[in-house]
Amino acid sequence: MRANVAPAVSAETIRPCSDWLLVRRYKKTATSQGGIHLPESSRDLSQVGKVLRVGPDVRGLAIGEWIAFSGYAAPIFATNDYTDDLVSVKERDVLAVLDLTAESERSEDEV
């Protein structure tokens, strides 16, 4: 008999309902502007992320867009390998859509 194992959690296995978005929160840099290393526990959580999936009732936002969102309304999904910081955001909690086309040379980790 197989032991109870939690199913794999990833952006591909989460399907948002109604007006919810699945967003990958970008990770802030590990050093301050002065060059001081910041441990993970002292960094603020980013309120910027890339939309990975959208619910059926979402209007005006698309997969792949970068958004700024309210930090108070973002339940976090822990992925099994802890590599992604996935958050669920209601469409009404999106504060802005970020136009990053001028900075397309930068990678997603540098935004």
The rounded distance, in Å, linking the Cα atoms of 84 and 9 is 10
Q: Around Cβ 90, how many Cβ atoms within 10 Å?
A: 18
Domain 15-29+45-100, CATH among 2.30.33.40, 3.30.750.24, 2.120.10.30, 3.30.2350.10? 2.30.33.40
Q: What is the DSSP letter of 13?
A: T
- Can you give the pLDDT of all 111 residues of the chain as single tens digits? 556 666 667 888 889 999 999 999 887 667 777 877 777 666 667 789 999 999 999 999 999 999 999 877 667 777 766 667 889 999 999 999 999 765 554 555 554
Residue 20 tokens read as 């919810």
Residue 44's CB: how many other CB atoms inside 10 A? 8
Residue type for position 68? A
pLDDT at 95: 94
